[in-house]
Amino acid sequence: MLILNEKEIRQLVPMDIPALQAVAEGFRKLSCGEATLPPIMRIDVPEHNGEVDVKSAYLHGLNAFAIKVAAGFFDNASLGLPTGSGMMLVVSAVTGFPQAVLLDNGYLTDVRTGLAGALAAQYLAPANPQRVGVIGSGMQSRYQIRALKLVREFSQLIVYGIDPLAVQAYAQDMQAELGLSVQIAASPEEVVRQSDFVVTTTPSHQPIVKAEWLHAGLHITCMGADSEHKQEIEALAFGKASRIACDSRAQCLRLGELHHALQTGVIDQQTPITELGEIVAGRLPGRQSPEEITICDLTGVGVQDTQIALLAYHRALSQGVGMKID
């Protein structure tokens, strides 16, 4: 068995085009019926404002797949700890034996989530966004914007968050790392109204983005609501959207933003909803006009985990990285 630590994994899998292509291929296989995707197993720990998710997928034809355990404990900041952590196990699809343990501490989850946001932007966001907006100032707010840089050119970023010190640090980091001009907004409304592209990255349990703020040409990627009790977008916003997309229709209708839109009757089971993989595979078009309002609901699917884990595993084997044990 191969053991990889976080430092090794970070060097093996940067935020790059090959990683984006790997995640895209996972979505393509999912949309074409070439993936076995079990339901998410979630363990809630309400006493400590935490949850642990177990995700996996087998992509047909591959010799291995990944099982990912990811934790989000949202009071960790008071303990001086990151909110997220995790690890992945690579399992042989031929024998069922474990082949590798990836002690990534949640890094690969951050990367693959950011790359899913980049894919949504590649196919649905305006071609030349004048200003990009982000709601939230945590780890994923960074990865979403880093990944967005792979598919879109932009120089202006506007951010809103509830922690002034965290928002200030975020603005400084993004300006230094990506050379962006960063504006700190006084409200989520300011972000939405002033941006062509918005990504929401919070664990909010109440809607942050209101339907009345949406405007022609806007794209929103919402990735924070990955369980039934979370919600970042007012359900009525989906009634204003020209196009609704998601990573997995069945999963999002069960626990994503679309879950709330379905519950409130804004959409129903017959509402056209495009899966990201259908666009990647060329079966359905992406953005069709500059005036469209598009929303993409991302809840995270196991095909992303298998693809990013196997990318790290195969690069480690080819480069002789990691520790092997009997």
Q: Which residues pair with 88 in a beta bridge?
A: 68, 102
> Do 163 and 231 belong together in one domain?
yes
pTM of structure: 0.93
User: In the prediction, which pLDDT does 226 show?
Assistant: 83
175 backbone φψ class: left, alpha, beta (φ>0; ψ -120 to 50): alpha
Pair of tokens at residue 109:
């989850």
User: In the prediction, which pLDDT does 77 show?
Assistant: 85
User: In the prediction, which pLDDT does 84 show?
Assistant: 87
> Do 235 and 133 belong together in one domain?
yes
Q: Which residues pair with 130 in a beta bridge?
A: none
CATH classification at residue 173: 3.40.50.720
In the annotation, is 149 catalytic? no
Is there a contact between 264 and 207 (Cβ–Cβ < 8 Å)? no
User: In the prediction, which pLDDT does 326 show?
Assistant: 86
Domain, as residue range, for 308: 2-108+303-324
> Do 7 and 84 belong together in one domain?
yes
For residue 143, give the H/E element and its range: helix 139-148
Q: From the CB of residue 134, how many other CB atoms can be counted at a distance below 10 Å? A: 29
Pair of tokens at residue 230:
């979370």
> Do 8 and 85 belong together in one domain?
yes
First to last CA, the chain: 6
> Do 100 and 191 belong together in one domain?
no
Pair of tokens at residue 282:
């060329």
What stretches in the chain show pLDDT beneath 50? none
DSSP letter at 162 equals S
Can you give the three-state secondary structure of 171-218, one letter per residue? HHHHHHHHCCEEEECCCHHHHHHHCCEEEECCCCCCCCECHHHCCCCC
> Do 121 and 179 belong together in one domain?
yes
Residue of 7, 29, 55, 68 marked active site: 68
How many angstroms separate the Cα of 199 from the Cα of each of 81, 221, 229?
24, 5, 19
Domain count, the chain: 2
Query: Residue 233 and residue 222: Cα distance in Å, rounded?
Result: 8
> Do 54 and 123 belong together in one domain?
no
- Nearest of 118, 130, 96 to residue 27 by alpha carbon: 118
Query: Residue 266 and residue 269: Cα distance in Å, rounded?
Result: 11
User: In the prediction, which pLDDT does 227 show?
Assistant: 83
